[in-house]
Structure 1
Amino acid sequence: METGKPAPEVAKDQGTNETTLASWVSRAKRAEKTTPEDKDALIARLTAEKAALKKWNKELGMERDDVLKRCMVLWVK
């Protein structure tokens, strides 16, 4: 968009697929159209999602530790 080069040439220069580049350009154009309120809502949603994923990851780690402890008990017997 900024260089004025055709998409196939830019994709080749970047070493990416032309379809992938077109997808990126489309996303960039949509992002330019969003309002500050939309961006704030998106940031709030992503922050909440990040917190939920961190919590879930912690729970999975604890479950993994429990499974490993049980395996060690069975292995020692």
Structure 2
Amino acid sequence: MMQANDYSWLFKLTCRVLKYFLLFLVGIAAAYLLAAVFGALHLALPMLPFIGDLVLRLALSILGLMATAVIFESLRY
């Protein structure tokens, strides 16, 4: 029987990476809103394609890591 904190290192790593990715998204959203409020959209808009591409690549990588962790955990028990 699995205990309360008996998760594998891969699952713990995946949760930590997902947490920091979501914090990164919140930070990007806050920075964009502040740029809009203070009238610096001319600085923020050129970075949007780069940030969108980065977020997409990170999200796909984290999705693959999550799938691997779920499969590994289900095979463990």
Q: TM-score, normalised by structure 1?
A: 0.47
Max radius of gyration: which structure?
1
Higher RCO structure (Cα 8 Å, ≥6 apart): 2
